[in-house]
Amino acid sequence: MPRDRQKPSRDSVTTIGEDGSRNFLHPADVKGRFTLWRRISAFFLIAFYVSLPWIHINGYPAVFLDLAARRFHLFGLTLAAEDLWILFFFVTGLGFFLFFVTALFGRLWCGWACPQTVFLEHVFRRVERWIDGPARKQKDLEKKEWCAEKVIKRVTKHAIFVIFAAVIAHIFLSYFISVDVLFSWFSEGPATHPRAFAFMLFMTAVLYFNFSWFREQLCLIICPYGRLQSVLIDDDTVVIGYDEVRGEPRGRKKKVRQAAASAPAEQVFESGDCIDCFRCVEVCPTGIDIRQGLQMECIGCSNCVDACDDVMVKTGRPKGLVRYDSLNGLAGKGKKFIRPRLFLYFALMSFGIAAFAVSVTKIKPGNLGVARMTGTPYFLTEDTIRNQFNLRLINKRNQPVVYTVQAISDEKTLTTAGFEGGITLEPMEEVVRPFVLTLPREDYEGPFSLVLEIHGEPGDFSVGREVKFLGPDVRLLDENYEPTFGQ
Amino acid sequence: MSDNPKKNDEPQQEGVRLLDHAYDGIQEYDQRLPNWWLVTLYGSIVFAAVYWFFYYQSDVATDDVENLEARLQVIEAINLEATLAMLDNENLWKMSNNALYIEAGQETYESICQTCHGPNLEGGIGFSLIDNEWVHGSQPVEIYKTIDAGVQGSGMQAWGPTLGPKKVAEVVAFVLSHHSPENMKDAQSAP
């Protein structure tokens, strides 16, 4: 079979030419069990991505990052901007979960779940194959002089790419402004919301560029996760690999196995199972030769596994020359799953998730802010001392909450004004109201601390803030007091 | 990762050059960066020059502080314009007969003023607003000023910055709706 691309080498990246130019790949299509399962999982992942903004939980979209109102709705949980610290634990827990999975199964995420792979392999490349045909025809078309056919195919393909990029960008935008708002902005036109429109255009352009041209460069050169692989995996991690023991020496020796069946045992392995057909290289989306061992470029997509299995079946050999296995397993050594690093990653992951779970329960669905009213810190009347506050009440919940306010203090004669009979706050509402504390003069014996507390129903929660009741120097309240100045 | 036994047997790719230096036996390839990567480098150099020219050398672009100041000026102008209509006793009396103003004013009153001036304007911590005694002036514009700027030394804070001119005017309208120009004439302006 003639091959018009250079043989992959471990010394350089296949997709970058000697002069720094881009070597555009046309990976061949592949069929098989892993490809089928990847296609099914990609379908559900895309459906998941598309449907999240449409599904409403507790009155808000399942994921709605409302930046404008600084409220973050995540699967029924509503977080205010001030609560986002808990996401630290969630994200680190998730990060260590990825570490854990990586230590076990290598780049499972990249090949099966990463949006880059999902959209590229299952949307954009399929469109490309549908219009330009299989890999060989794609290459021929690329070399061809510009003609009517090429123009039509190119225009059609890129038009569809732009449309898909725009759709993905719009769904992304709806995560931040919600689908309802997105549609109302549609009807009002781009001129009314130029910034959102510009953002959408920018996202569309980036996605189109990424999926039509940039492609595997993102995985190879930009993605930090790919670069972390070498410290996350070891010789017992399950990766995609080539069974050198069984495959070498490679070559096109037909029916070697059948002929060797009656031969002495040493001759059975005289020629390896690899027939050097290069099918695994042709289907590789990053342009490597998996037979050269585990490489930085491998995104664990399993295309080569299916491709090789297909060839093995056709040539009457057992499957699994290229397979999911650990480096030790491929070398014929024993398999081992339990390793110290797994415990470390698992412990860190559990810590993050546990801390997140605990802190979620600590989040108050409302908040109280206390500030003294502008002006003097206290006011004196003939027989009372008065302290005035502005209370800022925030309802962070998705439902109306009734708040009652009280001052908790040892002073029995302290009276309050404001918030009589409680106050109902609408979902996400925030109000500022005065609250006045009054104390008879004769009971004042100097500044004292007290707690202003709000109690919310439903939810039965309280938030308290300590404040100081201030007044004049006690001696000044005594009418018979005569100040002496200096000595 | 395991070393690949095949690696040394394969001919080294043409044009891939090894650098002379070696540290701990490790040598480095001298490969060209991808062209698209170089484009980002040269692109940012060009961007820096353009940015420097527009923001620091020319008057074409305005920076964030200037933008902010310009927008604050616009907001202030709107507020000033709104205030203009309220600096007129007659206007404020007219507002006190407008149901929309009274309703809006009542809402603000009940959420804020009521704490001190009582649910029926009868007073409490603060002065009564229903009787005919006006310590800080009985004319509508004076009442507006009292709410807007507060009264130093008393418990009345300046509500203008919090509420804005429109809401202050609404509250004035609500308070005035309990009075008439006629009885206000007889009002005492001293305690």
Each residue's pLDDT tens digit, A194-239: 988 999 999 999 999 999 999 999 999 999 998 888 899 999 999 9
Instruction: Report the C-alpha gap between A451 and B7 in whole angstroms.
Output: 74
pLDDT, mean over chain B? 84
Provide mean pLDDT across the span A432-454. Answer: 91
Q: How many residues does chain B have?
A: 191
Which residue in A has a C-alpha nearest to residue B9's C-alpha?
A: A292
Q: How far apart are the first and last CA of chain B?
A: 91
What is the three-class DSSP state of B69?
Answer: helix
pLDDT of residue A418: 87
- Across the interface, whether the CB atoms of A293 and B125 are under 8 A apart is answered no
Sheet containing A71-74: order of strands: A63-66, A71-74, A77-80
pLDDT band at A52 (very low <50, low <70, confident <90, very high): very high
> What proportion of chain A, given as a percentage, has pLDDT over 70?
94
Return the DSSP state at B119. Answer: T
pLDDT of residue B186: 66
CB B157 within 8 A of CB A388: yes
CB A27 within 8 A of CB A15: no
CA distance B116 to chain A (A): 7
Instruction: Report the C-alpha gap between B163 and B168 in whole angstroms.
Output: 6
pLDDT band at A4 (very low <50, low <70, confident <90, very high): very low
- Across the interface, whether the CB atoms of A431 and B111 are under 8 A apart is answered yes
Provide mean pLDDT across the span A240-266. Answer: 68
Q: What are phi and psi of A468, to 5 degrees?
A: -105, 130
Provide mean pLDDT across the span A69-92. Answer: 88
Residue (of A301, A237, A334) closest to A108 by Cα position: A301
Provide mean pLDDT across the span A81-100. Answer: 91
Which residue in B has a C-alpha nearest to residue A234's C-alpha?
A: B1
Instruction: Report the C-alpha gap between A53 and A171 in whole angstroms.
Output: 8
Residue (of A92, A89, A84, A87) closest to A67 by Cα position: A84
pLDDT of residue B8: 43
More confident residue, A253 or A346: A346
Q: How many C-beta atoms lie closer than 10 Å to residue B30's C-beta?
A: 10
Secondary structure in 3-state letters for chain A: CCCCCCCCCCCCCCCECCCCCECCCCCCCCCCHHHHHHHHHHHHHHHHHHHCCCCEECCEECEEEECCCCEEEECCEEEEHHHCCHHHHHHHHHHHHHHHHHHHHCCHHHHHHCHHHHHHHHHHHHHHHHHHCCHHHHHHHHHCCCCHHHHHHHHHHHHHHHHHHHHHHHHHHHHHHCHHHHHHHHHHCHHHCHHHHHHHHHHHHHHHHHHHHHCHHHHHHHCHHHHHHHHHCCCCCEEEEECHHHHCCCCCCCCHHHHHCCCCHHHHCCCCCCCCCCHHHHCCCCCCCHHHCCCCCCCCCCHHHHHHHHHHHHCCCCCCCEEEEEHHHHCCCCCCCCCHHHHHHHHHHHHHHHHHHHHHHHCCCEEEEEEECCCCCCEECCCEEEEEEEEEEEECCCCCEEEEEEEECCCCCCEEECCCCCEEECCCCEEEEEEEEEEEHHHCCCCEEEEEEEEEECCCEEEEEEEEECCCCHHHHCCCCCCCCCC
pLDDT band at A30 (very low <50, low <70, confident <90, very high): very high
| Of A149-158, A333-342, B180-189, minimum mean pLDDT range | B180-189
Query: Which one of A9, A11, A376 makes the best mutation probe of the B interface by having the most chain B beta carbons within 10 Å?
Result: A11
- Across the interface, whether the CB atoms of A373 and B155 are under 8 A apart is answered yes
> What proportion of chain B, given as a percentage, has pLDDT over 90?
37
pLDDT reading at B85 higher than 90: no
Instruction: Report the C-alpha gap between A119 and A54 in whole angstroms.
Output: 20
The 10s digit of each residue's pLDDT in B131-186 is: 888 888 888 989 999 999 998 888 898 998 888 888 999 999 999 999 988 877 76
pLDDT reading at B15 higher than 80: no
CB half-sphere exposure, B45, CA atoms < 13 A: 5
Cα pseudo-dihedral A415, A420, A422, A426, rounded to 10: -130
pLDDT reading at B109 higher than 70: yes
- pTM of this structure: 0.78
Provide mean pLDDT across the span A157-185. Answer: 95
Residue type, B25: G
pLDDT reading at A267 higher than 50: no
- Across the interface, whether the CB atoms of A20 and B6 are under 8 A apart is answered no
**A16 near B CB under 8 A:** yes
Q: Which residues pair with A52 in a beta bridge?
A: none
- Across the interface, whether the CB atoms of A293 and B16 are under 8 A apart is answered no
pLDDT band at B3 (very low <50, low <70, confident <90, very high): very low
Q: How many residues does chain A have?
A: 487
Residue type, A303: N
pLDDT of residue B61: 77
CB A373 within 8 A of CB A389: yes
pLDDT reading at A79 higher than 90: no
CA distance B119 to chain A (A): 10
- Across the interface, whether the CB atoms of B35 and A20 are under 8 A apart is answered yes
Instruction: Report the C-alpha gap between A135 and A29 in whole angstroms.
Output: 7
CB A54 within 8 A of CB A180: no
Cβ contacts of A275 within 8 Å, gap of 6 or more: A250, A251, A252, A253, A254, A311, A315
Q: What are phi and psi of A283, to 5 degrees?
A: -90, -5
Cβ contacts of A34 within 8 Å, gap of 6 or more: A302, A305, A306
> What proportion of chain A, given as a percentage, has pLDDT over 90?
62
CB A377 within 8 A of CB A447: no
Cβ contacts of A209 within 8 Å, gap of 6 or more: none
Contacts of B158 in chain A (CB under 8 A): 374
pLDDT reading at A423 higher than 70: yes
Q: Tokens 């006690």 sit at which residue?
A: A474
Return the DSSP state at B31. Answer: -
pLDDT of residue A1: 39
Provide mean pLDDT across the span B8-12. Answer: 47
**A424 near B CB under 8 A:** no
pLDDT of residue A356: 93
pLDDT reading at A181 higher than 80: yes
- Provide the chain B residues 120-149 that lie in CB contact (below 8 A) with chain A: 124-125
A78 φ/ψ sector (left φ>0, alpha ψ -120 to 50, else beta): beta
- Across the interface, whether the CB atoms of B162 and A432 are under 8 A apart is answered yes
Read off the tokens for A145: 């002089």
pLDDT reading at B89 higher than 80: yes
Task: Give Rg (Cα) of chain B.
Answer: 36
Cis amide leading into A472 (omega within 30): no
Q: List Cα–Cα distances, A360 to A86, A338, A406, in angstroms.
A: 7, 32, 26
CA distance A121 to chain B (A): 22
**B162 near A CB under 8 A:** yes
